[in-house]
Amino acid sequence: MRTDRRKKLAIAGIFLLGMIFGVGVVCLVLFFPGRRPAPDTSRLTATFEGAAQRALRMPEVTDTEVERVIDKPNLDTEVERIKRLAGKLGGTAVQGAGDEAGVDVLAEIPPELTHQFSDAVKDPAKEPVISPQVPNEDAKAFVAVKLKFRESKE
């Protein structure tokens, strides 16, 4: 009878040690997750940001956008040329805030002359042809001119 009791105690002890070892392994896995590398969620983040941008799109402020690459020293003359072009077409232009990449200029001109204005901004040699009819004073179109600085080769 003594051997049966020893066998039962040995089996219970082995079972108890197995349970303690199992609980220890589970605790290590649950409470020390720093050993695993964090999953790459950049694609998921980009997808969510893109969905948010599409869902919450801001209304466009300008009717047309023109981009031109210039040398940084020519900035003032180019802004003055754009202001002169806008004034010649019966509108106005205002220089916005700039940064190291470039400057934005917002022009307000009659909508029927936006194509001529855009062509004249893109090509400095072109001068807009002013129509003899007086444009409608109430209707105005906004044209954003993005002046980007040319990369300097140092």
Structural domain spans, the chain:
2-55, 64-149
CA distance 130 to 128: 6
- Residue 83: CB atoms within 10 A of its CB come to 17
Q: For 97, phi and psi rounded to 5 degrees?
A: -70, 145
CB 102, CB 148: distance < 8 Å: yes
CA distance 19 to 58: 60
What is the pLDDT, as a whole number, of residue 23? Answer: 92
Give residue-wise pLDDT tens across range 22-65.
Answer: 999 888 877 776 666 777 888 888 888 777 767 766 566 777 88
- As a dihedral over the C-alpha atoms of residue 56, residue 59, residue 62, residue 66, rounded to 10 degrees, the angle is 20
Give residue-wise pLDDT tens across range 94-148.
Answer: 998 888 888 889 999 988 888 888 888 888 877 776 664 555 667 788 888 889 8
CA distance 48 to 146: 29
Average pLDDT estimate for 3-12: 89
47 Cα distance to chain centroid: 13
pTM summary value: 0.57
pLDDT category at 3 given cuts 50, 70, 90 is confident
pLDDT category at 74 given cuts 50, 70, 90 is confident
What is the pLDDT, as a whole number, of residue 126? Answer: 77
Six-digit token pair at 83? Answer: 């202001």
What is the pLDDT, as a whole number, of residue 89? Answer: 86
